[in-house]
Structure 1
């Protein structure tokens, strides 16, 4: 059994205000075939952040090691927690290398600035825990008023960040994950397709 945890990408997709423009799709009928022109940000919909997104270095999305994005993954259900701190993660991420954080935001279709996010201390905890990829179902891994420190803490250690997942149909537990960004040369991120395959009994 598999779960597609990718948000449906359309002109109505939830966007982060102040940075991402609404996506636009223009379909042209060329008689024998259709052709659609896309206009969207590298961080539209379910997407992966490259280190260059915040660190402005050479570690662009096409250089992310696929080994960080493909393999065993743990979904951690955090319920209604808004500010995800160390206490919310301790004892729940140990032994995992890739984690996806399920919150109340899965399935939400409108932006709200009080979306769930990691605290700087929680980000540092994940670095120490040896996590190589962290995903979340909210618009950003960092709070709306964040200063970028959460992103920088994770990205500086080459931890892949996946944002705006939809984990609403996924029980907490162990999965195999495939998360593939477009191979956009030299860019800071990319929309991605993220698939989870059930590995067996769920844990709570």
Structure 2
């Protein structure tokens, strides 16, 4: 069975959205030999999912969604080759429309995870408004990307979050390792958030697997 880990590890001082809490993991005071760590992170730390309440005042929080929304089939869309702070056009979806089914996820592979840890990570490519509208029109349940933000971080954009979350398309940001997946091929995906309630999002452990292999080995 092939499992693909698509998550950045959460460590102290890791890249995070400007203005969000700085991730800190420190040892807590305990009686030896026990170890406990204190975690200070934001709800959008590392690889994470955005719920509609992240942007919309009356949007649903992450705790209202069933697990089925986070475990689903989907495809990787090749969106590589775009530069710093460049909008990704709608036509990247052209070759993927025929095989896509409503309720699946679309995962955009920009290759920007290679900049993780340097300043250029904050000047990533982002979805154009036309691309966001096309994602909604295709009936996607979730949109993932291997970059910090579906909107332009450099320009403080927000229209893509508005379009997707208003249509109840969940957003997963800061994916990694998508080069291991074949564009256009159907995979199983899991983006399981922490079991939080009335919260605007949550870190996730993101993974993918080949559908022609059992998820749980037998024998």
The two structures have a TM-score, normalised by structure 2, of 0.85
CA change 1:72–1:2 in 2 (3 A) is same
Which residue pairs with 1:198 in the alignment?
A: 210
Displacement of 1:64: 2.3
- For the pair 1:175 / 2:187, whether they are aligned, the reply is yes
Alpha-carbon distance in structure 1 between the residues aligned to 2:199 and 2:8:
21
Deviation above 6 Å: which 4+ runs of structure 1?
none
What whole-Å deviation, never above 9, does each CA across 1:21-53 have from its counterpart, x for those lacking one? 220111124213111111011001000000000
Whether the aligned pair in 2 keeps the contact of 1:135 and 1:165 (CA below 8 Å) is yes
CA change 1:2–1:139 in 2 (3 A) is same
Which residue pairs with 2:145 in the alignment?
A: 136
Which residue pairs with 2:108 in the alignment?
A: 101
Alpha-carbon distance in structure 2 between the residues aligned to 1:153 and 1:88:
18
Alpha-carbon distance in structure 2 between the residues aligned to 1:115 and 1:93:
25
Whether the aligned pair in 2 keeps the contact of 1:62 and 1:183 (CA below 8 Å) is yes
Whether the aligned pair in 1 keeps the contact of 2:144 and 2:173 (CA below 8 Å) is yes
Which residue pairs with 1:89 in the alignment?
A: 93
Displacement of 1:58: 4.8
Q: Secondary structure at the match of 2:37?
A: strand
Alpha-carbon distance in structure 2 between the residues aligned to 1:93 and 1:34:
50
Whether the aligned pair in 1 keeps the contact of 2:13 and 2:24 (CA below 8 Å) is no
CA change 1:142–1:164 in 2 (3 A) is same
Gaps spanning 5+ residues in structure 2: where?
213-219
Alpha-carbon distance in structure 1 between the residues aligned to 2:67 and 2:133:
23
- For the pair 1:185 / 2:161, whether they are aligned, the reply is no
Which residue pairs with 1:115 in the alignment?
A: 124
Displacement of 1:77: 1.8
Alpha-carbon distance in structure 2 between the residues aligned to 1:99 and 1:66:
18
Higher normalized strand content (fraction of residues): 1
Displacement of 1:182: 0.8
Tell me how many residue pairs correspond in the alignment. Answer: 199
Please report the RMSD computed on the Cα atoms of aligned residues, expressed in angstroms: 1.6
Which residue pairs with 1:22 in the alignment?
A: 22
The two structures have a TM-score, normalised by structure 1, of 0.90
Alpha-carbon distance in structure 2 between the residues aligned to 1:104 and 1:137:
7
Q: Secondary structure at the match of 1:90?
A: helix
Alpha-carbon distance in structure 1 between the residues aligned to 2:72 and 2:4:
15
Alpha-carbon distance in structure 1 between the residues aligned to 2:25 and 2:73:
35
Which residue pairs with 1:6 in the alignment?
A: 7
Q: Secondary structure at the match of 2:132?
A: helix
Q: Secondary structure at the match of 2:161?
A: helix
Which residue pairs with 1:152 in the alignment?
A: 162
